[in-house]
Amino acid sequence: MELHKNSGELRVVIDVSYTSAEEFIDFIENEQCQFIDSLGVEGLKKFEWYVDEDTNTATLVEVFDNAESFGELATKALGTPVNLKFRELAKFENMTILGDVSEEMKNNLAAMEPKIKTFKAGLN
């Protein structure tokens, strides 16, 4: 185990709200996850939804090998029918990016007003 080594991994945490738990959960289980997997982004390590049906809120946690993998997924998914349906079903609330991203990526994501936090210390 190494102390204080930046592995280059990038984590993206997205919080959303939705109206219908049944419709939202059906979509993420039966459409979105399969679609994301079909994109074949090699550096995508995790794409996990956590849902609170009592408050109609959910959190997506994505883990990537690096910022380039995140950029690849975003480019491939943006504007697709699955992405457009997601935007109809869920209201974006918040995005947090944990890791180093380029200025270009910051500019591309500016409309979502992400909180970007860079790695400083930890155990790997």
CATH T-level fold of 15-94 = Alpha-Beta Plaits (3.30.70)
Give the burial class of 24: count Cβ atoms within 10 A of its Cβ; 0-12 exposed, 13-18 middle, 19 or more buried: buried
How far is it, in rounded angstroms, from Cα 77 to Cα 14?
Answer: 15
3 has a pLDDT exceeding 80: no
Query: What mean pLDDT do residues 94-99 have?
Result: 97
Residues 45, 9: Cα–Cα separation, whole Å: 10
* High-pLDDT (> 70) share of the chain, %: 98
Q: Domain ranges in the chain?
A: 15-94
- The residue with tokens 């939202």 is 24
Query: Is the pLDDT reported for residue 83 higher than 80?
Result: yes
Q: What is the pLDDT of residue 1?
A: 62
> What is residue 79's DSSP assignment?
T
Rounded-to-integer distance, Cα 42 and Cα 73, Å: 10
What is the C-alpha to C-alpha distance for residues 12 and 115, in angstroms, rounded to an integer?
10
Q: Check residues 44 and 108 and name the one with the higher pLDDT.
A: 44
- Mean local confidence (pLDDT), 34-46: 97
Q: Which one has a higher pLDDT value, 3 or 75?
A: 75
pLDDT digits (tens, 9 = 90+) for 45-82: 999 999 999 999 999 999 999 999 999 999 999 899 99
